[in-house]
Amino acid sequence: MTLLRDLSVLWSLFHILILFMLLYRSRYSRKKTILLTGITMGALIVLNMVGLIIYGAETMGQVFILTCTLPSLLVFWLISRDRNGRFFFTFCLADTVALWIIVVTNVVDFYFGGQQYILMFIGRLLLFPLAEWGAVRRLRKPYLELQEAVPKGWGIFAGMTALYYLLLAVKSNFPVVITQRPQELPAYLLILILMPLTYAVIFAALYRQLLLYRKRQSERILQEQKLTLEARLENQQYIRKVKHDMKGHAVTLSGLLAAGKIDEAQAYLKGVGVQMDTLSGQFCANPYINAVFVHYVRKFEEIEAECRLDLQVGQEELPYMELCQILSNGLENAWDALRKLEPGNREVSVQMKYNRGHLLIRIRNKCREDLHVEKGIIPATEKGGNDHGFGLVTIKEAAEQLEGEMFCYTENGSFVLDVAVSCLAFAKMS
C-alpha cells in the first residue's frame, strides 16, 4: 500500500506548484515561466521521490525543508517579479496551505484509516483541487490586484506565515512524527485550527487595504475627469469670448487699413492669430491632454510666467487618464512654485516626445535658490519646506502603472520632473 502513499506525495508536490503559480507574479511570460518551473521543479520532485523510496517517509519528512522548500524558494525567487515581502508571503502561503492539507490527511489516515494510506490518498486527491478551485474563484484576482496596489507592508505577514510553516513542519516531524506522539495531539490540533483563523485575519486586513486602494483610485479618476471636463468647458467658453472680441479686432483692422497703415495692420493681425492659436488650445491632437494644457497655460499666464511647450505627439493612442494625472500634478506643482517667485523669474517648459511606443515627459520650472533635490528622492511636502512634494507620489504610481519611471531633481536653479512611460503597457491593459 506504500504505492498510494508515494502517489499521494507526488500529487501533493505537483499541486503545491500549481497553487503557488496561481498566486505569484513571474517576471517572464507564462510560457517561459511554465517551462522554467517544469524543468527545475520536475528535477526537484524526482530527487525527492527517489529519496522517499530509498530513505522512507519519516526521514524525508525531517529533511524536506532542505531538500524541497529551500531549493524551490530559491528557484521561484529568481524568476519572480517581486523580490520582497510580497513574494515571501505568497510562497509561505502556498506552502503552508499545502503542508496543512498534507498533515491533516496524514493524521486522519493514521487514526481512522489504519495506515493503509487510502484515506490519505483520497483526501489529498480531493483537497488540493478544492484549494485550487477556491484560489481561482475567490482569491486569485483580488490577490493579484492587491500585490499591484500595495507595495509595502508585506514583511510582517510574510514573517507570520513563515513561522507557521516552520511550526507545522517542526511539530509534525520532530523528534518523531506526530502520530508517534499521541500526548501532543491536542495541542497539534489546536495549531491546525488556529492557522486558518490567522489567515482569515490576515486576508481581512489585506482586503481592507484593497478596498482603500480602490476607493483612492476611484477618487483620483473622478478628480481627473472633473479637471478635464472643467478645462474643456473653460476652453469653449473662452473661445466664445474670443469670437465675440473678433468684432473689435475687425474694427481696429478696418481703421488701420483705412488710414493706410498696412504694416501696423499686418503686425496687429499676426498678434491676433497667435492669440487665437493659444486661446483656442491648439497644443496637441489628443483632446484630453490638450485640455490639461489649456487649463494650465492660462494659469501660468495669470501669474505672468513664461511658458514654453514642445509637444511632439500626434494622433497616437495614448493612456490619457494616467497622463492627465501625471501632467496635471506636475504642472500644478510647477505653478505653485512659480507663483511664490518674483514675476521676472517665473519660467516653465514642458517637453513631450513619443517614440516607438514610449512617451518621455519633462517639466522644468524655476524654483527657490535654496531648494536642493537629489535625483531618485521624492522631496517632502511644503510642511517640510518644499513646494514640489504634492502629487509626486501620484505621478510615480501613475508612471509605474504604465511600466515607467519618474525622477525629479534640481539643476541650475530649476526643478526638473522626468517621466518615462510605455504606451505599449496601456495597449496591453486595454
Q: What is the DSSP string of 94-122?
A: HHHHHHHHHHHHHHHHHHHSTT-SHHHHH
- E runs forming strands in 157-217: none
Q: What angle do CA 65, 71, 73 make, to 5 degrees?
A: 90
pLDDT of residue 385: 43
What is the arithmetic mean of pLDDT over 92-118? 91
Strand partners, 355: 358
Per residue in 282-325, pLDDT tens?
Answer: 677 777 788 788 888 889 999 999 999 998 876 667 777 788 88
Q: Does position 94 have pLDDT exceeding 80, yes or no? A: yes
State the virtual CA torsion across 142, 144, 145, 149 in degrees, nearest 10: 130
Per residue in 338-375, pLDDT tens?
Answer: 999 998 899 999 999 988 788 999 999 999 888 888 88
**345: which residues sit within 8 A by CB, 6+ positions away?**
366
**47: which residues sit within 8 A by CB, 6+ positions away?**
67
Q: Which three cell numbers stand for residue 309?
A: 511647450
- Are the CB atoms for 368 and 374 separated by under 8 Å? no
The span from the CA of 181 to the CA of 189, in Å, is 13
Counting Cβ atoms within 10 Å, is residue 373 exposed (0-12), middle (13-18) or buried (19+)?
Answer: buried
pLDDT of residue 102: 93
Dihedrals phi, psi of 339, to nearest 5 degrees:
-65, -15
